[in-house]
Structure 1
Amino acid sequence: MYGIRVNAQDTVKDMVLQNSVIKTRVNALIRNAEITETIYKDGLCQVSMELKLDGRIWYRILSGSRG
């Protein structure tokens, strides 16, 4: 994924929370993932995916190794 952006806005009146809105945005390209489930409900779409990862590659990436 390239990034996840989270925006939040709370409305408070007389020291009482009136409204809370949290919005997220994902900018990503996911390759070789298998869609396992798609749910449409209340105008929203939820997609679940399965992605096989090679632990050796992630170890190199997260540890900062170049080799």
Structure 2
Amino acid sequence: LSPDNKTLLCGLRDGQIWAIDVKLGVLRERFTGHTGKICDIAFSPDGQNFASASVDKTIRIWEP
């Protein structure tokens, strides 16, 4: 959950990350790049960026 409680990030088994608008309950954005299941996601303190880790042994920094 983003620091402002507006966006929920969901990591999927296929490596996608979905950004869900909490208030509206709709998919706002989809991120691809990992080739394996997402095991962790963390927002930066300011909520502008996030990092994700996958079983594909990669960590990605996202700057949407």
How would you bin the TM-score normalised by the shorter chain?
A: under 0.3
Q: Which one has a bigger Cα radius of gyration? A: 1
Higher relative contact order (CA 8 A, sep 6+): 2
Normalising by structure 1, we get a TM-score of: 0.24
Q: Which has the higher helix share?
A: 1
* TM-score, length-scaled by structure 2: 0.24
